[in-house]
Amino acid sequence: MLRGMSGDLLLEAERLRLRRFTPDDVDNLVELDGDPEVMRFLTGGEPTPRETVRDEHLPRILARYDHAPDLGRWAAEEWATGEFLGWFALDPSDDGTEAELGYRLRRAAWGRGLATEGSRALLRHAFETVGVGRVWAETMAVNVRSRAVMERVGLRYVRTFHLHFDDPIPGTEHGEVEYELLRSEWRPFAPGTR
């Protein structure tokens, strides 16, 4: 079941609830970004310092709600327990016609189909509620688990590209990949599919 909500709660899916972040989520984000495996394809496993989460990342997330209330990043909680699992994102393009799909989940949530479930919920929200024309996602080419989620939710491979990093992490030499789904290609998933 997927329901659009108002206020702080954006969506409820079968096992997930997506809500707006609040200033009280600092510890949740610090814990998430402190796991070397969660950060492996982002920083090479280096944790994000608490001060950076508190003073930069979280304020930026909160400010986006004022500019694009139906797009941005949301805390993901397990529906049954309320446990913080990570986040999902539909980060808007500058003109609001496109959104970048993203997700970052605690290791305890991996392998349970939650990234797929949350991504499908956000795709439905993006195309049926917000009306964006395109949703896209990027990851490192070697991040096969994230690429598998993108493919399961219907995004198609667009390209591999190479960026320059002053301090590259292992796997950077294989490049980044981009996937996309256009609104004209969108087909809702049957309830309960994972």
> Once rounded to an integer, what is the mean pLDDT over residues 55-82?
92
Going from the N-terminus, what domains does the chain have, and what CATH number goes with each? Answer: 3-185 (3.40.630.30)
Condensed to tens digits (0 to 9), the pLDDT of residues 95-137 reads: 889 999 999 999 999 999 999 999 999 999 999 999 999 999 9
**pLDDT > 70: percent of the chain:** 93
pLDDT of residue 82: 93
DSSP labels, the chain: --EE--TTEEEE-SSEEEEE--GGGHHHHHHHHT-TTTTHHHHTTPPPPHHHIIIIIHHHHHHHHHH-TTSEEEEEEETTT--EEEEEEEEEPTTSSEEEEEEEE-GGGTTTTHHHHHHHHHHHIIIIII--SEEEEEEETT-HHHHHHHHHTT-EEEEEE----SSPPTTGGG-EEEEEEEGGG--PPPTT--
> Once rounded to an integer, what is the mean pLDDT over residues 7-16?
81
Better pLDDT: 69 or 43: 43
Name the residue among 29, 71, 19 with its Cα closest to residue 51. Answer: 29
Condensed to tens digits (0 to 9), the pLDDT of residues 179-194 reads: 999 999 998 875 555 5
When pLDDT is cut at 50, 70 and 90, the band that residue 49 belongs to is very high
Condensed to tens digits (0 to 9), the pLDDT of residues 141-154 reads: 999 999 999 999 99
pLDDT of residue 62: 94
When pLDDT is cut at 50, 70 and 90, the band that residue 3 belongs to is very low
When pLDDT is cut at 50, 70 and 90, the band that residue 164 belongs to is confident
pTM: 0.90
Better pLDDT: 167 or 92: 92
What value does the mean pLDDT of the chain take?
91
pLDDT of residue 25: 97
